[in-house]
Amino acid sequence: MENERDLNEQIEMHGKMRIALDLLESCQEFAQMIPEVRTNLVYARESAERTDDVLAIDGRVTVVGGMPHASGDPKFGASSHMARLLLEIRRRDPTIRAGINFANTPSLSRWLEIYCKRKGWVFSVIDRRSEPEAIKEAEGASMPWKVGEAIRAAGGRVPNVFYETGAVGKEPVTVLVGSDPIVVVSEMINLTLEYQRG
């Protein structure tokens, strides 16, 4: 019975990821929102504890012929950074099972703050400059600090959208989270189209 439940969850997860990916790949405007580190879309199992429990795009989403394009198929364990970020957020709010990362610029950040306020979303900023040296140097310590910082800066609430300021050698990126990848990608596309309409 356990195996059947596991299989049903995998089928449901792969199905939702496929639909979300099709939506994302058909949105030409999103190509402008892909950061240099590329985009990943992640989706955690209900009982996710490790990065192997998180479905992600193998090789991330890049730009091909001016369109967003997944480099590989959705695969469990295909993400490290975004998967760890999602797992950490889920410790505070288990209803969040999916997330996507996208570009960050000063003008986009300012626009996002207003957009989130209008949508009634929680928006937050992680200032990497205030990250303690001991945390920077300890393997795996950055992620709990980052998520804790995002929640602290949002007054104790888990943000729907947050970004981190760039640190040395780190590209600043924005993250949007939600209940599943279709919800996340739909919100991402709405956000993208509205931002690019100016």
| Residue spans of beta strands (DSSP E) within the chain | 41-44, 54-57, 61-64, 67-70, 74-76, 98-103, 123-126, 161-164, 173-178
Tell whether the model's pLDDT for residue 171 goes beyond 90: no
Say what the pLDDT of residue 164 is: 86
Q: Which residue type sits at 156?
A: G
pLDDT in tens, 107-126: 999 999 999 999 999 999 99
pTM comes to 0.94
| β partners of residue 69 | 62
> Mean pLDDT lowest for which of 53-57, 98-102, 135-139, 183-187?
135-139
List, in order, residues 6 or more apart from 7 with CB less than 8 Å away. Answer: none
- In order of their start, the domains of the chain are 2-197 (3.40.225.10)
Say what the pLDDT of residue 115 is: 97
> Quick one: CA dihedral 37, 153, 191, 51, positive or negative?
positive
pLDDT in tens, 130-147: 888 888 777 777 889 999
Torsion of the alpha carbons at 137, 138, 141 and 146, rounded to the nearest 10: -10
